Amino acid sequence: AQSVTQPDIHITVSEGASLELRCNYSYGATPYLFWYVQSPGQGLQLLLKYFSGDTLVQGIKGFEAEFKRSQSSFNLRKPSVHWSDAAEYFCAVGDTNAGKSTFGDGTTLTVKP
Amino acid sequence: NAGVTQTPKFRILKIGQSMTLQCTQDMNHNYMYWYRQDPGMGLKLIYYSVGAGITDKGEVPNGYNVSRSTTEDFPLRLELAAPSQTSVYFCAIGTANNQPQHFGDGTRLSIL
């Protein structure tokens, strides 16, 4: 069965600093991978997705993620964090056959002024 | 969120009551999903649908029922509400590669 682990429950960074959120997955083949962001009281917004091809994926709001098959990872990065990036971030792995996704438990990002 | 509308936004139920959470989309996508999100956790799939008239169970279907009579609507029904069903419920639709791409703003449900 597929699974997703987000090792960091909570991360705090200073505004303007770089950010990396970790995501490790378990899946039997090449997965579909996603990162979502959730602001308080809101639904999830898709930041970026990986289906195939180039392993470095660009998303919205200046985020990018890199798929590393050898490490079963799909870490999210941003070179310079803004205060508005404070939110909950979820990594998800999609079942390529059935159209379902398994979500990690999320990482809460706090941005210090 | 554009494209997926959930109603109501908030609801308090008593134990044993029933209710239907509504989800409507205007993007004409075949795949629709219902998730629940408990505090501090990721989303768990309750049911999903690959098109009108076709539904299937997800990871946590017990205590819920769904129907999909049209492409636009995918209601989720709670029968005999229990405190364990207190959660935030999200509806989503599938676009590229039929993965959940667009989410509604959620229904916050408390059962007392």
- Option in A42, A96, A104 nearest B42 (CB): A104
Q: Is residue A88 within 8 angstroms of chain B, CB to CB?
A: no
B5-54 pLDDT, tens digit per residue, is 999 999 999 999 999 999 999 999 989 999 999 988 889 999 999 899 99
User: What backbone phi and psi angles, to 5 degrees, belong to A69?
Assistant: -65, -40
Q: Residue B93: beta bridge partners?
A: B32, B102
Confidence category of residue B83, pLDDT binned at 50, 70, 90: very high
Instruction: Check residue A30 and give its pLDDT.
Output: 79
Q: Is residue B64 within 8 angstroms of chain A, CB to CB?
A: no
Mean pLDDT of A24-36: 89
Q: Is residue A90 within 8 angstroms of chain B, CB to CB?
A: yes
| CB contact at 8 A, A22 and A73 | yes
Mean pLDDT of B85-112: 88
**CB proximity list for A59: less than 8 A, separation 6 or greater:** A35, A47, A48, A49, A65
Instruction: Check residue B1 and give its pLDDT.
Output: 47
The H helix count followed by the E strand count for chain B is 0, 11
Instruction: Among B43, B55, B103, pick the best mutation site for testing chain A contact (most A Cβ within 10 A).
Output: B43
The answer to whether the CB atoms of B43 and A103 lie below 8 A apart is: yes
Task: Tell me the chain B residues in contact with residue A102 when contact means C-beta distances shorter than 8 Å.
Answer: 45
Distance CA A52, CA A67 (A): 10
**CB proximity list for A87: less than 8 A, separation 6 or greater:** A37, A38, A39, A40, A108, A109
Size of interface A-B (CB pairs under 8 A): 62
Task: Tell me the chain A residues in contact with residue B2 when contact means C-beta distances shorter than 8 Å.
Answer: none
Distance CA B99, CA A52 (A): 14
The answer to whether the CB atoms of B58 and A42 lie below 8 A apart is: no
- Give the pair of three-digit tokens for residue B80: 């005999």
Q: Nearest residue on chain A to B89, judged by CA atoms?
A: A43
- Option in A43, A90, A102 nearest B104 (CB): A43
Q: Residue A5: beta bridge partners?
A: A24
A74-101 pLDDT, tens digit per residue, is 999 999 999 999 999 999 998 776 667 8
